[in-house]
């Protein structure tokens, strides 16, 4: 028996389907950042610098962005299940490539496939979490989807950092465990009811949102974009900064900092969930500006504590910006356009998150650490300030 999209959206649900849907998001996002503490291992083996490291990360962003161009539209037409199954299979292939990587090309391929899988998850997977909830639970479901994403993004580097620090075979342990989690997620997706495809012919086009919802999505992007760019910098180049500041090459420190960054993102979302969305955005913008100020101080003083504080503030900025944006989409965008709106929202965030850290990485290689980080911090802080000014004007 098949379920129509309208029936699925209207039917009240228990907690179990919501948690299973959120678990799928978490499993894939664990893979998304598990490589962060392991870059030192690969750098020692392959001998590449900060520019190459940032380029490898950008392959992930490119895969994600390319997928976001079509994933939302396909999910809204065929249903989440039709996309989540291949997403999980691609994530499994990526995990195997990470485990076997002996060249930069294989790392780039693994990151690209991871980006494709994550692109599907942030469109179809996160919309699937919201669609499992009754209308009265939409905002709580948005919180659950956002927390599931951030929880996975933080757990991956912590797990990899612990294994890299204490295991003789970290790649085998980390990515075999991830394969197990992805298999469990695949089982959960296979249990989803099959959604009947939309009757209208599918026309692939650039993702869009209804005209009346453009402002909702743009407001979310204005804060989510600077926040996720700040956390992306920590993920792509954080290990290099720790090594430069204190000659600390410990993968556990890099992974632990990334984990703490995302856990702050989770905690702050629970703390602000009852606030008006405008207030949530104000917190996001202020946290991101402070994150960039402390990053600049960290570079100027070669200070690990300032660097850690910058990462924690970046996590708060991303978490609140993400929650605010997803809440506006859940509350205002129709269910049959929600996955596409999620795709547009995430594209707006991931474009700067891929481009700016890559530019900073090459600037560091060419002109030194201080120049690269200062340019990046100034751009991100400027974007956050512009978003804050815009929101204040809209309130008047």
CATH code of 251's domain: 1.20.1250.20
- Confidence band, pLDDT 50/70/90 cuts, at residue 10: very low
Residue 112 pLDDT class (50, 70, 90 cuts): very high
Mind listing the pLDDT tens digit for each residue in 346-361?
889 988 988 888 888 8
pLDDT of residue 354: 82
- Is 87 a residue whose pLDDT tops 90? yes
Q: Identify the domain containing residue 247 by its residue range.
A: 17-196+211-395
Crossing angle between the packed helical segments 214-246 and 338-367, to the nearest 10 degrees: 30
Whether residue 224 lies inside any domain: the answer is: yes
pLDDT tens digits, one per residue of 143-201 = 888 789 888 988 999 999 999 888 888 999 999 999 999 999 999 998 877 766 555 56
Q: What is the pLDDT of residue 200?
A: 55
In a domain, residue 128? The reply is: yes
Average confidence (pLDDT) over 31-36: 90
Q: Where are the alpha helices (DSSP H) in the chain?
A: 5-10, 15-34, 39-46, 50-78, 80-100, 104-120, 126-131, 138-166, 170-190, 214-246, 251-272, 277-301, 304-332, 338-367, 369-395
Supply the pLDDT for residue 350.
Answer: 84
Asked, for residue 2, whether it belongs to a domain, the answer is no
Q: Is residue 202 part of a domain?
A: no
Count of structural domains within the chain? 1
Position 11 in a domain: no
Query: What's 38's DSSP letter?
Result: G
Q: Is residue 1 part of a domain?
A: no
Which pLDDT belongs to residue 386? 94
- The whole-number pLDDT of residue 384 equals 95
* pLDDT value, residue 1: 38
- Residue 232: inside a domain: yes
Higher pLDDT, 81 or 76: 81
Give the three-state DSSP class for 3: strand
User: d(Cα 222, Cα 203) in Å, to the nearest integer?
Assistant: 29
Question: Is residue 205 assigned to a domain?
Answer: no
Provide the whole-model pTM. Answer: 0.78
Q: Please state which of the ranges 35-39, 200-204, 285-289, 300-304 shows the lowest mean pLDDT.
A: 200-204
Beta bridge partners of 3: 195
What's the pLDDT tens digit per position in 358-367? Answer: 888 888 888 8
For 241-290, what is each residue's pLDDT tens digit? Answer: 877 776 666 788 888 888 999 899 889 988 998 899 999 999 999 999 99
């Amino acid at each position: 028996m098949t379920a129509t999209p309208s029936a699925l959206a209207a039917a009240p649900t228990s907690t179990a389907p919501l948690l299973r849907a959120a678990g799928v998001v978490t499993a894939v996002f664990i893979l998304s950042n598990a490589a962060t503490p392991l870059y030192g291992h690969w750098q020692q083996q392959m001998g590449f610098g900060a520019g190459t490291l940032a380029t490898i990360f950008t392959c992930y962003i490119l895969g994600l962005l390319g997928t976001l161009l079509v994933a939302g539209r396909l999910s809204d037409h065929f249903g989440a299940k039709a996309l989540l199954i291949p997403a999980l299979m691609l994530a499994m292939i990526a995990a195997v490539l990470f485990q076997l990587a002996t060249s930069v090309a294989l790392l780039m391929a693994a990151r690209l496939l991871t980006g494709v899988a994550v692109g599907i998850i942030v469109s179809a997977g996160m919309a699937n979490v919201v669609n499992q909830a009754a209308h009265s639970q939409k905002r709580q479901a948005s919180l659950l989807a956002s927390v599931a994403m951030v929880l996975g993004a933080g757990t991956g580097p912590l797990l990899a950092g612990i294994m890299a620090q204490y295991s003789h075979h970290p790649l085998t342990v980390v990515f075999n465990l991830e394969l197990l989690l992805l298999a469990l997620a695949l089982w959960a997706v296979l249990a989803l009811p099959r959604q009947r495809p939309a009757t209208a012919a599918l026309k692939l086009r650039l993702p869009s949102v209804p005209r009346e919802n453009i402002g909702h999505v743009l407001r979310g992007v204005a804060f989510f974009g600077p926040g996720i760019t700040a956390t992306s910098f920590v993920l792509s180049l954080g290990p290099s900064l720790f090594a430069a500041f204190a000659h600390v090459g410990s993968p556990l420190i890099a992974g632990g900092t990334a984990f703490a960054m995302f856990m702050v993102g989770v905690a702050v979302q629970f703390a602000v969930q009852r606030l008006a969305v405008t207030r949530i955005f104000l917190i996001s913008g202020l946290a991101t500006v402070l994150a960039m100020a402390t990053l600049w101080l960290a570079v100027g003083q070669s200070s690990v504590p300032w660097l850690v504080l910058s990462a924690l503030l970046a996590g708060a900025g991303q978490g609140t910006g993400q929650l605010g944006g997803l809440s506006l989409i859940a509350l205002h965008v129709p269910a049959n356009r929600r996955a596409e709106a999620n795709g547009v929202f995430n594209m707006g965030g991931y474009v700067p998150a891929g481009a700016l850290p890559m530019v900073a990485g090459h600037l560091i290689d060419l002109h030194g650490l201080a120049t690269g980080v200062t340019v990046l911090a100034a751009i991100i802080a400027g974007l956050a300030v512009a978003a804050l000014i815009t929101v204040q004007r809209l309130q008047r």
